[in-house]
A and B are shown apart, each in its own frame.
Chain A
Amino acid sequence: MVGRKENGSLAVSTLFEIVRPSYLLFPALLGTMIMGLVCPLIGSYLVLRRTVFLGLTLPQIAAAGVSFTFWLQQSGFLPQWEQSERGMGMFGSLLFTFLGMGILGYLEQRGKGFPEGRLAAAYAFAGGLTILFIVFNPAGQVEVLNLLKGEVIALSKGELRLVTGVFGFVFIAVLMFRREFLLTSFDRDLAFLLKGSQVIWDVLLYLLAGLIIAFGVILAGPLLIFGFLVLPALAARPLVSRMSSFLMLSSVLGVIMAFLGFYSSVRLDLPLGPTDVTLGCCLIFLAYGLSRVPTKMGAALLMLIFVGGAVTSCATRTAPAPVPTVKDIKKEQVWLAKVKNSTALPLLLPANNPLRSLAEMAGKISSDYRQSVMDLLRDDLRKGLEQNGYSVTLPEEMDARFPPFPADMNGAVRMAREGKLSGLVFVSEIWRWEGESQKFVRVLIDFKLIRINDGTVLWERRIQRAVPTPSATNSGQASTDAATAIVHDLFTG
């Protein structure tokens, strides 16, 4: 688990763990913070120009571009791009974003309809297209949906360099042209007199917005990018009365939102986009509350207390207890029940799983049999228990009809008693097991060690997190690595 000390002491710091460059998710954290720093700078101008809806519509158009490109590719109209799925998505995202901006700009020039109406129609159209392209995709929907979710948690070092380059360029451009952007946004007549045509500055601002949206959508998802664009700026607005402070505070709040959101996401196993956006909305409520504080100093102090409190509450946690020792359970017999799958998915490993082939060759399984995640986990649990000195027996060795036991104590005890088992039963129930980009497996599993005679739960543990599988090259290997890591967690505490 993140930040756990090996000795399993109660209070441990997880906060410092994630800011270490050697931390597996460090590129993702850094990438999110870079986006949190830069997006609000562009978003500030969108908010002030009252074109916030553009920040919602463009990411949706970019998402339509991603699903369109994958549909074309899977239908054979585009060559397979083996190197990077995200690279392919970026191409579609960029293409659609700039195409969409061009069309919206043209309609703006023509002056047909009213701006909000155009943006609303474009948003609805892009949303519809996104879903239709996903439905048309013969390769299935899950993969494209995962890409559209923009799991920034899987950001690689190469992608981090790309984020740094693109967002760094936008950051410098916004700082360099801040006066022109302000003037054209605030007083277009004066901008014309002093700087000539305002159109060039409008185009530049929207190009920069398009750039971060097109890249951000594929890397972080439409929701997170919209959140980063708009929410920090909305939170900063009531607290400042100067433009320079507004831009600075928006960026600072964006970074805070990114950091706390990322931490909460990893720690509580929550999806990053919704977590960050919810946090951003909390910041807005907080900012409007603080704006009633008579002095800015007081407001700033309260804001610091809030952020400090949030960080501190993130920083400590109670380490879970490991599986009891053999001495603790007085060498009682342990029945290791089959792992119950309570997900809606079969959780079967791919047919080309190398472990399966070895078992097949050894004649241990039939060619029709496909190993499952439950099998992997149970095998690892058995090894772990035996290595720790437990006397482990499988219920089906006594009666082959034994089904998997539920993690519910009453249900497990009832089944054990009906099967005439005595001693202890070790039950496991999987509620969630989702592989993401072969780099992580998101899991939610309950484990319990129950005394059958009196129904006492001697030990229990819930594991709910994204388990990193950095060396996996396919989904089967990712599941294998994740099962090993989870069982290791159980025994080390």
Chain B
Amino acid sequence: MKLEQDIDEIQRARGRVSKDETLPLVSLRDVSLGYDSQPVLQGVNLAISLGDLIGAAGPNGSGKTTLFRAILGLLPILGGSLSRHCALSEFGYVPQSAALDPHFPLSVREIVEMGAYGRVRSYQFLPSEEKERTSRVLEQVGMGHLITKSFFACSGGQKQRILIARALMVKPKIMILDEPLSGVDEATRHSITDLLINLTREKGLAVFFSSHDLEMVQKVADKILRVDKGKSWLEERKMGL
């Protein structure tokens, strides 16, 4: 598969830069986050490296999305230090599908192609290899048959998978997924978690996702960042789950 070749290529390229390989892609040290100087989350310590599967678990409004926005450079941190060792264009971001405006007339193909916009110049037509890649990433998430369908006519689970395909289209080193398991049925949850595990185990990507369902995060993630009442702490995955 071409996608696997791409990922191998990224890994080989990373291997040539031995100094970078030892560094985590993202590291946060005692970071404080918030809006208008009002902290929402304090003392966040986290390092995300290739192959990591980390889940952020906490109730709604605990600051998980705020943390993601800070990692993606969309929100300035209030204190501490945040360093990235990859370009922002190498982040595959999967927002909550409910946050996207259904008023836009967009097909599944157009949604996934957005992931290639960073590589295509304004005056260029989308190259044929990018079009082929669109089909491949959709096949990879099992949504190849929906390529011509309207995105907002898809079910919640289908939308999540399509947005994951869009993030893969970016050719990411790290995937950030905001509540990818919310609003989907049990079977879809399992298929999405299998996909996330596959991305880390087989493709070697770093995956950082959030969920308010602690039990689900404990089942899937290798490390769990617990977020609650303005504090955060890291937990290892409990054996046997």
Minimum Cβ distance to chain A for residue B6 (Å): 17
Asked if A194 meets B106 with Cβ closer than 8 Å, knowing A187-B114, A189-B95, the reply is no
Asked if A186 meets B104 with Cβ closer than 8 Å, knowing A193-B89, A194-B170, A242-B110, the reply is yes
Asked if A186 meets B105 with Cβ closer than 8 Å, knowing A179-B122, A194-B89, the reply is no
Q: Is B105 in contact with A243, judged by CB distance below 8 angstroms? A: yes
User: Does A7 make an interface contact (CB < 8 A)?
Assistant: no
Give chain A residues whose Cβ lies under 8 Å from the Cβ of B74: 189, 192
User: Does A176 make an interface contact (CB < 8 A)?
Assistant: yes
Q: Is A242 in contact with B93, judged by CB distance below 8 angstroms? A: no
Q: Is B106 in contact with A242, judged by CB distance below 8 angstroms? A: yes
Give chain A residues whose Cβ lies under 8 Å from the Cβ of B72: 189, 192-193
User: Does A382 make an interface contact (CB < 8 A)?
Assistant: no
Q: Is A186 in contact with B101, judged by CB distance below 8 angstroms? A: yes
How far does the alpha carbon of A183 sit from the alpha carbon of B199 in the complex, in Å? 26
Minimum Cβ distance to chain B for residue A369 (Å): 66
How far does the alpha carbon of A50 sit from the alpha carbon of B102 in the complex, in Å? 12
Fill in one digit per residue for B100-127: 1 if any A CB lies within 8 Å of its CB, else 0: 1101111100100010011010110000
How far does the alpha carbon of A361 sit from the alpha carbon of B12 in the complex, in Å? 101
Most buried by B among A50, A244, A245: A244
Q: Is A241 in contact with B89, judged by CB distance below 8 angstroms? A: no
Asked if A190 meets B93 with Cβ closer than 8 Å, knowing A176-B123, A179-B120, A241-B150, the reply is yes
User: Does B209 make an interface contact (CB < 8 A)?
Assistant: no
Q: Is A50 in contact with B107, judged by CB distance below 8 angstroms? A: no
Cβ-closest chain A residue relative to B95: A189
Q: Is A183 in contact with B117, judged by CB distance below 8 angstroms? A: yes
Fill in one digit per residue for A229-257: 1 if any B CB lies within 8 Å of its CB, else 0: 00000000100111111100000000000
Give chain A residues whose Cβ lies under 8 Å from the Cβ of B118: 193-195
Q: Is B106 in contact with A243, judged by CB distance below 8 angstroms? A: yes
Q: Which of A177, A190, A192, A245 contacts B114 (CB 8 A)?
A: A190
User: Does A379 make an interface contact (CB < 8 A)?
Assistant: no
Q: Is B88 in contact with A193, judged by CB distance below 8 angstroms? A: yes
Q: Which of A194, A240, A241 contacts B117 (CB 8 A)?
A: A194
Minimum Cβ distance to chain B for residue A199 (Å): 13
Q: Is B73 in contact with A192, judged by CB distance below 8 angstroms? A: yes
Give chain A residues whose Cβ lies under 8 Å from the Cβ of B170: 193-194
Minimum Cβ distance to chain B for residue A464 (Å): 42
Q: Which of B89, B100, B120 contacts A186 (CB 8 A)?
A: B100
Give chain A residues whose Cβ lies under 8 Å from the Cβ of B88: 192-193
Give chain B residues whose Cβ lies under 8 Å from the Cβ of A245: 105
Give chain A residues whose Cβ lies under 8 Å from the Cβ of B69: 189
Minimum Cβ distance to chain A for residue B114 (Å): 6
Q: Is A241 in contact with B153, judged by CB distance below 8 angstroms? A: yes
Asked if A48 meets B104 with Cβ closer than 8 Å, knowing A193-B88, A241-B150, the reply is yes
User: Does A159 make an interface contact (CB < 8 A)?
Assistant: no
Minimum Cβ distance to chain A for residue B65 (Å): 11
Give chain A residues whose Cβ lies under 8 Å from the Cβ of B107: 241-243
Minimum Cβ distance to chain B for residue A240 (Å): 5
Q: Is B153 in contact with A177, judged by CB distance below 8 angstroms? A: no
Q: Is B106 in contact with A186, judged by CB distance below 8 angstroms? A: yes
State how many residues of chain A have any CB contact under 8 Å with chain B. 25
How far does the alpha carbon of A242 sit from the alpha carbon of B15 in the complex, in Å? 41
User: Does A180 make an interface contact (CB < 8 A)?
Assistant: yes
Asked if A246 meets B117 with Cβ closer than 8 Å, knowing A194-B89, A194-B170, the reply is no
Minimum Cβ distance to chain B for residue A203 (Å): 15
Cβ-closest chain A residue relative to B88: A193
Q: Which A residues from 41 to 59 make CB contacts under 8 A with B?
A: 48, 50
Minimum Cβ distance to chain B for residue A475 (Å): 50
Q: Is B122 in contact with A243, judged by CB distance below 8 angstroms? A: no
How far does the alpha carbon of A185 sit from the alpha carbon of B91 in the complex, in Å? 20
Q: Is B117 in contact with A179, judged by CB distance below 8 angstroms? A: yes
Give chain B residues whose Cβ lies under 8 Å from the Cβ of A189: 69, 72, 74, 93, 95
How far does the alpha carbon of A279 sit from the alpha carbon of B118 in the complex, in Å? 41
Fill in one digit per residue for A164-180: 1 if any B CB lies within 8 Å of its CB, else 0: 00000000000011011
Give chain B residues whose Cβ lies under 8 Å from the Cβ of A180: 117, 122
Most buried by B among A50, A179, A193, A194: A193
Cβ-closest chain A residue relative to B87: A193
Cβ-closest chain A residue relative to B178: A189
Minimum Cβ distance to chain A for residue B129 (Å): 17
Give chain A residues whose Cβ lies under 8 Å from the Cβ of B166: 190
Fill in one digit per residue for B45-74: 1 if any A CB lies within 8 Å of its CB, else 0: 000000000000000000000000100111
Q: Is A237 in contact with B95, judged by CB distance below 8 angstroms? A: no
Q: Which A residues from 190 to 209 make CB contacts under 8 A with B?
A: 190, 192-195
Cβ-closest chain A residue relative to B123: A176
Q: Is B105 in contact with A242, judged by CB distance below 8 angstroms? A: yes
How far does the alpha carbon of A285 sit from the alpha carbon of B120 in the complex, in Å? 38
How far does the alpha carbon of A237 sit from the alpha carbon of B104 in the complex, in Å? 9
Q: Which B residues from 78 to 96 make CB contacts under 8 A with A?
A: 88-89, 91, 93, 95
A-B contact pairs, 21 of them (CB 8 A): A176-B122, A179-B120, A179-B122, A183-B114, A183-B117, A187-B95, A189-B95, A190-B93, A190-B166, A192-B72, A193-B72, A193-B73, A193-B93, A193-B118, A194-B117, A242-B107, A242-B110, A243-B104, A243-B105, A244-B110, A245-B105
Q: Which 5 A-B pairs have the closest CB atoms?
A: A194-B118, A241-B150, A242-B107, A246-B105, A193-B88
